[in-house]
Structure 1
Amino acid sequence: MRAFITGITGFAGSHLAENLLNHNYEVFGTSLMGERRDYVAGIKNAISIATADINDARALKKAVTSAKPQVVFHLAALAAVGRSFTVPVDTMTINLMGTQNLYEILRDSKSVQKIVFVSSADIFGPLPPAKMPIKPDYPLHPVSPYGASKAAADILSYQYFRAYGLPIVRIRAFNHTGPRQGTGYVIPDFCSQITRIESSGRRGTIKVGDTSARRDISDVRDIVNGYRQAAAKGKPGEAYILASGKADSIRHYLKLLTNMSTAEIDIKIAKELLRPVEVPLLVGSIAKSKKELGYNPKYKIEQTLLDTLDFWRKN
């Protein structure tokens, strides 16, 4: 089976590439000009990477045509919620128009059997606790530019399935973390600050935003396994949620991390880290994914956090 991953050299893309190789896929993908490739250094001889921006239709078409993929995983995106408030136009251009560029190219493909579009839990927006856990058929009410861009691309994906018959499966992925995730996301932001304090040998302070928000956080290795399962078993036109099915406060995750360190650490709320709009609770229902995809998360959050912290200690 020939697989094509947009954003193959990134955090989730590199983990997905490893997962697919372990399941005997031939793996192709794209990365940006000048983008670091150290996350795929260990598998560079087993994969083929083309340099192509998702909004460069000519370069993207050349990469897809050359790969002749049977399965496409669309991961390339501007994915940081906080940053999206600063660059809303870029967020929409990359996440929506880039997705349409890819679909227009795939309309001409004779080889593609399944397309996995990676959406986000942020498309749902804030919901009362009584509505939790979130199910795939819930209405979309995004409150961040990132959430809006992903909701628009999610709807576009369904439209291309209905109008053009593209075999698109939509994955609403909830928060996930793990080794290789860069700063700009809550867990690696904590890990980078903890390891900096550890290296200094002195008491230090971690700056945080709103730690009362409760999030459903999974291990990236579970999530990308779900992407592969969606490609194998997902029904075109359908939407699935990948999550852990339980949520804890950001404060709880921070406490777990600081307990994994012997450093003396103080916590300080920084106004600049508070978002204009915050979703207080997000937790997803994975009942449909378990039943139809065989999705079964294996990593405990403590192991995920420790692996992520150890990654930052080494990098």
Structure 2
Amino acid sequence: MLANLMREREPGDRIILAGRSSLPTHIDVENCKLDLLDSESVERLIQSLVPTHILHLAAVSSVHQAANSPAQTWHNNVGGLLNLCTAVTKYAAGAQFIFISSGEVYGRAFLAGDSLTEDTIPLPANLYARTKRAGEFLVADILGSTSTSYVILRPFNHIGPGQDERFVIASFAGQIARIEVGLAAPVVEVGDLSAQRDFLDVEDVTNAYRAVVDASDKLPQTAIFNVSSGNARSIDQLLVMLKKHANVNFEIRLSPDRMRPAEIPFAAGNPTALIEAVGWKPSIPIETTIHRILHAARLRINQSTSD
């Protein structure tokens, strides 16, 4: 993400990464500790920076984690956003605000079996999705009454190196990496493999975010875009790809703890609007993504065993 934002910077541009904990960044990126739930701190930061572009990604982002901590998820995903939008209306009303929502907001609308466009009425089917949909309304209601332009992006399932093993493909890769070095029996535990999802490489997703920032002067005052490929692949297909890249054979075993049958069997988004608006389109083959994920998992496991 940072590498993409660093491209073609104008003289004097500053990139500030704000979050609860300090993160490793590029030497030219400033790191600022910020708790979005602390409204006074948020206001002080926005007032001091007067940012021109705000990319809001902070959230409880795991559907499973959100379901297990509903009050905290609503507090984080909506409360922090409310504080940020309020501060923007006071001190940076001329900024472009980019809210990272989720393709999950479409929910039961996916039961139509088509790749959905932004004109589809969202029918969120889980708690995480409901907080993201609420965030969309919040942004529209608060920022829509000011001169702040805003873009709501709905990224679909994105995967890539370093993703937390709470997410399904990262979990498979981590299990395989441990099997390869003898830390686990040759068994990969899985849940429901039949669900079909619109998977994107995380680099393609961050390229989309950068493209929206670059095109800010050309976009309408308000806009909503899917960040998607338009194609759905089953989780089983991706596991087969991982198995092809693995250095060992292993058994695939259904685990009751991982069995959460998909209420939505098919989910894909039509990316045409974003392609036409900013010229972005996904470019990284899924096989390349799978190879990168497994390679990163191996490096992580090898590092942990050598420490």
Per the TM superposition, whether the score is higher than 0.5 is yes
| Letter of the 1:231 counterpart | V
Aligned: 1:272 with 2:257 = yes
- Of residues 245, 251, 266, the one that matches 1:281 is 266
Q: Give distance in 1, aligned partners of 2:56 and 2:277.
A: 21
SS of 1:153's partner is helix
Which residue does 2:14 correspond to in 1? 26
The residue aligned with 2:157 is 175
**1:114-133 correspondence runs (5 A):** 114-127=96-109, 130-133=112-115
Residue equivalent to 2:248: 263
Contact 1:69–1:111 (CA under 8 A) maintained in structure 2: no
Counterpart secondary structure, 1:297: coil
- 1:197 paired with 2:185, answer no
Shift of 1:236: 2.9
Range moving further from structure 2, 257-266 or 158-167:
158-167
Distance 2:173 2:8 in 1: 31
Choose the corresponding residue for 2:83, options 63, 84, 101: 101
Question: 2:42 corresponds to which residue?
Answer: 60
Structure 2 contact 156–226 (Cα < 8 Å) conserved: yes
Alpha carbons 1:195, 1:313 under 8 Å: kept = yes
Cα displacement (A) at 1:49: 1.1
Give the aligned partner of residue 303 of structure 2: none
Query: For residue 239 of structure 2, what is the aligned residue in structure 1?
Result: 254
The Cα offsets for residues 255-293 of structure 1, whole Å up to 9 and x where unpaired, read as 101110021211112222233763211111011111112
Q: Distance in 1 between matches of 2:130 and 2:221?
A: 22
Q: State how far apart, in whole Å, the 1-side matches of 2:260 and 2:115 are.
A: 23
2:54 matched to 1:72?
yes
Hey, what does 1:221 align to over in structure 2?
Answer: 203
Given candidates 161, 184, 191, the residue that maps to 1:209 is: 191
Trace 1:27-46 onto structure 2 (pairs within 5 A).
27-33=15-21, 37-38=23-24, 40=25, 43=26, 45-46=27-28
Are the structure 2 counterparts of residues 179 and 66 from structure 1 closer, same or farther at C-alpha, using a change threshold of 3 Å? Answer: farther
Q: Distance in 2 between matches of 1:179 and 1:130?
A: 32
2:71 corresponds to 1:89:
yes
1:164 pairs, out of 143, 146, 159, with 146
Which amino acid in structure 2 is aligned with residue 156 of structure 1? L
Matched, 1:236 2:221: yes
Structure whose CA Rg is larger: 2
Q: What is the letter of the counterpart of residue 82 of structure 2?
A: Q
Per-residue displacement from partner, 1:202-260 (whole Å, max 9, x unpaired)? 75111112110000000111111111222233433210001111011000011101110
TM-score by length of 1: 0.88
Q: Please, which runs of 5 or more residues in structure 1 have no aligned partner?
A: 1-14
3-state secondary structure, aligned to 1:181: coil
Q: Distance in 2 between matches of 1:305 and 1:296?
A: 19
Alignment: residue pair count: 294
Identity in percent: 26
Partner Cα separation in structure 1 for residue 259 and residue 140 of structure 2 = 33
* Aligned residues of 1:72 and 1:112 also touching (Cα < 8 A): no
Any stretches of 5+ residues in structure 2 without a counterpart? 301-307
The answer on whether the counterparts of 1:161 and 1:237 sit within 8 Å (CA) in structure 2 is: no
Task: List, as ranges, runs of 4+ consecutive aligned residues in structure 1 with deviation greater than 4 Å.
Answer: 128-131
Q: What is the RMSD computed on CA atoms of the aligned residues?
A: 1.8
SS at structure 2 position matched to 1:207: strand
Which of 136, 144, 148 aligns to 2:118? It is 136
Q: Is the 8 A contact 1:127 1:281 kept in 2?
A: no
Give the Å deviation of 1:130.
4.3
Q: Deviations over 1:171-212 (max 9, x none)?
A: 011010112211211111111111011111775111112110
